[in-house]
Structure formats: C-alpha cells, structure tokens
Structure 1
Amino acid sequence: MRALLIILRLGIKEIYSLARDPVLMGLIIYTFSVSVYTVADGVETELRDAAIAIVDEDDSVLSHRLRGAFLPPYFKPPAIIGIADVDKVLDSGSYTFVLDIPANFEMDVQRGRLPAVQLNVDATAMTIAGNGAGYISSIVNQEVARFMSRAEPDAGAAAALQIRVKYNPNLEAVWFNAVMEVVNNIIVMAVILSGAAVIREREHGTIEHLLVMPVTAVEIMISKIWANGLVIVTAALLSLELVVHRGLGVPLTGSIPLFALGASVFLFSVTALGVMLSTFTRSMPQFALLSIPVIVVLHLLSGSQTPLESMPKTLQWIMQLSPATHFVRFSQAVIYRDAPITVIWPELAIMFVIGCLFFMMALSRFRIAMGTR
C-alpha cells in the first residue's frame, strides 16, 4: 500500500508538472486536434481531380467519346493539346497524365487491328499515377467496348463480377487516415512525453529531490508511465470522439473501451522506451535528436502507412519486436472491424510482453543514470 500511494502521488505530481508546461500542453492539444483533422482531410490517396491532357490525332467519333469519358470527381476536364506539346506539359508538371490517341484509331478498332493508345504518366505523383493509370485503362477499355457493341460493356458476358466493400464502403481515404493519424500520434507523443518527463526533472533540478526521498527507481518510473499514459489515452479518446467522429464524420463502429485498453497496454511499452532513451541524454535537444530516428521507424514501418506484407521478409520479422506493429493491427481490428477481445487478445499479450522487456531495460538504464536503487 505504501508503494502504491507513492506511485499515485508521484504520478499526480507529474500531471501537475505537465499541466504547468505550456509548450507540451500546446503540443498535446495541437497533435490530437489540428494535426489529426488537417492530415486526415488533406491527404488524398484515392484519385481525385487529376489533371489530364489528350492528344487527339484521330478526331473521330470514338476519340470524341474517349475525350468525354474523363469526368469529375476523378478527373478535371481534359485539355486538348498537340503532339508537340507533350514533353513540355509533362516537364512543367502541368498534367499528370497525357493520353495520345493515334491517327486512324477508330478505323483500326473496327477492323480488329488492336491499335495502341499511349498513356504518358508523370510518376513523380506516385500515388495518383498508380491509381490513375488503372482508372484510365478501365475507361478506355469500356468506351471502346461500348462503341463496338453499341451497348453496355458487360452485355452478353458469361459472368459478372460483383464487388462488395466492407468496413469502408465508399473507399473514403479520410476514414483510414483519421484513425491512423490518431494511432501514429499516440506513438509519437508516448515517446516524447515520457522522455521529456525525465529530462524536465533533470533540467529543473527536481531529480535530486526525488533521489533523496525514500522512493525507488521502480516507483519513479511507474509513476511517470501511468501519468503520461493517462494523459495520452485521454487526449486520444477525445480526439476520436470530437475530431474523428464529429468533426470528420468517420463512424466508429468498434468498442472504444476496448481500444482504450489496448492503448494503455501499448503505452506501457512505448513510455518505457521513452524513459530509456532519456537516460542516454542530458538535455531536451539531445533527446529530440535521439528520438527522431526511433519515432520514424516506429511510424513508417508499423503498418499504418504501408502494408506490412509488402515489406521484405527480414524486416517483417524484425518489426514483430516493435509494439507499434501490434498496436496498429489491434487498432484496425477494433475500430474498423469491431473485433472482440477473443480475436485480438494475442496482440494485447504480445504488446504486454514487449512492454515488460522494455520496462526492465529502461529500469536498468534509469538506475545507472540516476545512481539510485
């Protein structure tokens, strides 16, 4: 009971200290409000308002059908340019796609000669380029099929493909980006706040006060972990409700209490990692420089930005040691698919085991750095 009271009081002291730090408080508020909203609403991964130009060397009925097939919201109204202007508009970045319809295209199609339509793509816009090329190919094939059959392209087909999209029926990028941005911000803030808590004690000179008190390193570490974890979980839940659900209109079909449980287990491991990183530094600038590569790896290779399955096999195995990888899986299963605890308990167990390992390593480093027991 004495140890629990010490941990409780030290944690409350930590929350008071954080509340009196306007920079960190401003960072927390910005990270879980403005940052989530602007990234989720501003980053587009699907094709929208793509700039396309068309070189019509055929000037036939079929080529005019193709010119009129590129419609909003996927494409801006296509511009008609000459063949000599293709390189110029691509070099200037004016258009992402330039479609070249060759001469005698309609006649060759009618005679079954399989003419080729050239699509020039500015691949510096990587996401749009990949998605857009698929859209344009589909549009060209459909229009040619309609022209030849004078009917719908699937008329008389032996089989039809019916697509049913679950969890995000309209394929809205904001639904994915919003929740993943909250998850990513939890990762970032967990490392920053826990490490800053130790650095702040050292810079303000209060660490000496703690060392002469009848408290142990375990009690100091646990108090900082639960206090900063509580702040981050509270901020994340408020962000999900106020920014993601109400502000962006993203439906939260999963269990929020279950998500809070998983976030708490995850924060146990990542805040311990932040404390361990802080023991290698003497000031906030040093801690920031040390934590940047760690945060970048946790952020980019956790599976929140790109699928883990597309990474090299060796890297996939290495990232299984990262709690962020399991937290992203947990979050996607709970928030998007409303998975019960009977399905996602392995991710919780793995995060807890990794957290215990991080805690033991951080405790060892903390004792050495602080010269305490």
Structure 2
Amino acid sequence: MQTLRNIYWLGTKELRSFFRDWVLLGLVIYSFSLAIVAQAQSNAQELHNASLAVVDEDHSELSGRLARSFLPPYFLPAVPVAQGDVDRLMNTGAYTFILDIPPNFQRDLLAGRRPVLQFNVDATAMMQAGIGSGYAQQILANEIAKFLTRQDEPSPVLVGQAVRIAFNPNLVTAWFSSVMGIIGSITMLSIILAGAAVVREREHGTVEHLLVMPVTPFEIAMAKIWANSLVIAGAVWLSLIFVVQRLLAIPIEGSIPLFMCGVAIYLFFATSIGIFLATIARTMPQLGLLYLLVAVPLNLLSGGNTPLESMPPFLRTIMQASPSTHFVAIAQAILYRGAGFDIVWPRFVAMAAIGAIFLALALWRFRSVSTQSG
C-alpha cells in the first residue's frame, strides 16, 4: 500500500508539473484538435473539383455532349481552349486534365472508323490523376454509347457488377485519416511526454532529490507512466467526441470505451519507450533525435499509412512484434467496423504482452541510471 501511495502522489506531482508547462500543454491541445482537423481536411485522396479543359476540333453534337458530361463535384466545368495551347497549359499546371476531340470525330465514329480521343493528364497530382483518368474513361464511354444508341441509358451488359462499399460508403478520406491522425499523436506524445518528464528532472537536478527520498526508482517510473498516460488518454477521448464526431461529423461505429481500453494498454508500451529513450538521452534535443529513430518507423510501418499486405513478407513478420501494429488493427476494427471484445481480445493480449516486455526493459534501465546518479 505504501508503494501505491508513493506512485499516486508522485504522479500528482507530474500532473502539476505538466499543467504548468505551457509548451507541452499547447502541444497536446494542438495535436488532438487542430492537427486532426488539418489532416482530415487537407489530405483528401478522392477526386474533387478537378480542373478540366476541352479542345473541341470537331464542333459536333457529340463533341458538345462530351464536353458537358464532366460534372461537379468531381470535375469543374470544362473550359474551352485552343489546340496550340495544350502543351503550355500542361507545362504550367493550369489544368489537371485536357480532353482533345479531333476533327470529324462524330463522322468517323458513325462510319465505324474507330477514331481516337486524346485525354491529357497531369500526373504530378498522382492520386487525382489516377482516379480522374478512370472516371473520365467511364464517363466518355457511357456518353458515346448513349449517343450511338440514341438512348438516355447505355445498353445493359450481359453480366452486371454490384459493388457494395462497407464501413465508408462514399470513400471519404477524412473518415480514415482523422482516426489515424489520433493514433499518430498518441505515439508521438506518449513518447515525448514521458521522456521529457525524465529529461526535465535530470536537467533541473531534481532527480537527485527524488532519489534521496524514501521512494524507489520503480515508483518514480510508474508515477510518470500513469500520469502521462492519463493526460493522453483524456485528450484522446475528448478528441474522439468533440473533434471527430461533432466537428468533423465522422461516424464511429464501435465502442469508444472498448477502444479506450486498447489505448490504455498501448500507452504502457509507448510511455515505457519514452522513459527508456530518456535514460539514454542527456538533453531534450538528444531525446528528439532518438524519437525520430523510433516513432517514425513505428507509425510508417504500423499499417496506418500502408496496409501490411503491401509490405515485404519479412517486414510484415517483424512488425508483428510491434504493439503499434496491433493497436492500429484494434482501432480500425473497433472504430470503423464496430468489432467487439470477442474479436479484438487476441490483439489486446499480444499488445499487453509485448508492452510488458518493453515496460520491464524501461524499468530496468531506469533503475540502472538512477543507481548511477545516486
């Protein structure tokens, strides 16, 4: 009981110290509010208001219909341009797409001569270029088919394809990027806050004061872990409720309390990494450099940015030993697909086991450094 009391009171000291540090407090508020909004709204990967120009060298009924077939919100209204300006407009990036309809296109099509349309694409906007090219091909094919058959709808195909998009029916990027932004902020801040708490004690010379008190290095480390984890867990919960659900109007299918249980387990791992790095670093700049070596690979290879299936087999196997990989899978299963505990509990166990190993390493290292300092 004395150990628990020491951990509790040392943790309250950490909380008071944190709320007096306006820089760290501002970083937490920004990371779970404005940063989430910016990532959700500026990282859109769907086609929206793409600029389009049309070179109409045919001036026929069909060419006019083709130019008018590109509609908002995917494309802006087509702007007529001259054929001699195509290269200049593409080089200057004035338009993402330029459709060139050759002379006598309608006459050759009706005569069965298989004329060719030229669709120029600025692929520097890679995501929009790829999606827009596919949309344009479908739009032009449907419009030409309707013109040839003189029907409002093209002739039905022999085999129909029914596509059902689950969990994100409109393919809105913000639904994915907002939650992934929260996960990235959890990793970043848990390492920085826990590490900064230890480095700050060392820089201010207060770690020696703690060591002469009737407390153990284990109690000091655990106090920093629970205090910083509590701050981040509270920020995550507020961000999900007020930023994701209310401000961005993004639906959450699953149980937020179940997800917060996963957050609590993951925070033991991430804060332990922060303490471990702080026992190596002597100053905050050194801690920042070590953070880049650890946190960036954890985020990039966790499956939040690139699916694990797209990675080399040996890398997929290695990343199974990372709690960040399991945490991303848990977050996607619970928040996107509404999974229950019966589905995610194996990953809970794996994340807790791996986190316990890193926690033991952090505590061992912290004891060693504290003994040397004493």
Task: Work out whether the TM-score is over 0.5.
Answer: yes
CA distance, structure 2, for counterparts of residue 294 and residue 130 of structure 1: 33
Q: Alpha-carbon deviations, 1:67-120, whole Å to 9, x = none?
A: 001111111112222222222112111111222222332233223333332222
**Is the CA contact 1:245–1:251 (under 8 Å) kept in the aligned structure 2?**
yes
Aligned pairs for 1:176-195 (under 5 A) are 176-195=176-195
**Is the CA contact 1:54–1:99 (under 8 Å) kept in the aligned structure 2?**
yes
Partner in structure 2 of residue 336 of structure 1: 336
- Corresponding pairs, count: 373
Partner in structure 2 of residue 122 of structure 1: 122
1:148 match: secondary structure: helix
Aligned pairs for 1:1-373 (under 5 A) are 1-371=1-371
Q: Alpha-carbon deviations, 1:274-307, whole Å to 9, x = none?
A: 1111112111111112212322222222222222
- Matched to 1:26, the amino acid is G
CA distance, structure 2, for counterparts of residue 364 and residue 86 of structure 1: 66
Report deviation, 1:337: 0.9
Report deviation, 1:153: 4.7
Higher mean alpha-carbon deviation, 140-149 vs 110-119, is at: 110-119
Report deviation, 1:315: 2.3
- Matched to 2:6, the amino acid is I
Q: Judging changes above 3 Å, is the alpha-carbon distance between structure 1 residues 219 and 55 closer, same or farther for their aligned structure 2 residues?
A: same
- Matched to 2:60, the amino acid is S
- Matched to 2:369, the amino acid is A
Report deviation, 1:266: 0.8
Gaps of 5+ in 2: none
CA distance, structure 2, for counterparts of residue 22 and residue 204 of structure 1: 17
CA distance, structure 2, for counterparts of residue 205 and residue 262 of structure 1: 35
Report deviation, 1:154: 4.8
**Is the CA contact 2:49–2:74 (under 8 Å) kept in the aligned structure 1?**
yes
**Is the CA contact 1:323–1:354 (under 8 Å) kept in the aligned structure 2?**
yes
Higher mean alpha-carbon deviation, 7-16 vs 300-309, is at: 300-309
Higher mean alpha-carbon deviation, 332-341 vs 296-305, is at: 296-305
CA distance, structure 2, for counterparts of residue 60 and residue 280 of structure 1: 74
Query: Normalising to structure 1: TM-score of the pair?
Result: 0.95
- Matched to 1:230, the amino acid is L
**Is the CA contact 1:279–1:369 (under 8 Å) kept in the aligned structure 2?**
yes
2:55 match: secondary structure: strand
Aligned-pair identity (%): 49
Higher mean alpha-carbon deviation, 20-29 vs 211-220, is at: 211-220
Query: Normalising to structure 2: TM-score of the pair?
Result: 0.94
Q: Alpha-carbon deviations, 1:319-364, whole Å to 9, x = none?
A: 2222211111100110111100110112111211221121122223
Report deviation, 1:199: 0.9
CA distance, structure 2, for counterparts of residue 229 and residue 308 of structure 1: 27
CA distance, structure 2, for counterparts of residue 348 and residue 264 of structure 1: 10
**Is the CA contact 1:298–1:322 (under 8 Å) kept in the aligned structure 2?**
yes
Higher mean alpha-carbon deviation, 90-99 vs 150-159, is at: 150-159
- Matched to 1:338, the amino acid is G
1:40 match: secondary structure: helix
Report deviation, 1:152: 4.6
**Is the CA contact 2:142–2:154 (under 8 Å) kept in the aligned structure 1?**
no
Higher mean alpha-carbon deviation, 323-332 vs 82-91, is at: 82-91
**Is the CA contact 1:154–1:160 (under 8 Å) kept in the aligned structure 2?**
no
1:220 match: secondary structure: helix
2:168 match: secondary structure: coil
CA distance, structure 1, for counterparts of residue 281 and residue 125 of structure 2: 40
